[in-house]
Structure 1
Amino acid sequence: MAEKKTSEVFSAEEKAAMKEAAAERKAQAKAKDKRAAGTKAVRDAIEKLEGDDRKLAERFYELVSENAPDLVPKTYYGMPGFANADDKMLVFLQPASKFKVRYSTIGFEQASALDDPPMWPTSWGITAWTASGEKAFLATLTKAQG
Structure 2
Amino acid sequence: MNLRYKPMPSDLAARYRRREPDAYGLIPEVNVSDGQGMPCRHCLANIAHGDRYLILAYRPFPELQPYAETGPIFLHAEECEAYTGGEAVPPILSTSKDYLLRGYNADDRIVYGTGAITPVDSIDARAAELLERPEVAYVHVRSARNNCYQCRIERA
Question: Does TM-score exceed 0.5, indicating one fold?
Answer: no
Higher relative contact order (CA 8 A, sep 6+): 2
Structure with greater proportional strand content: 2
Q: Which has the larger radius of gyration?
A: 1
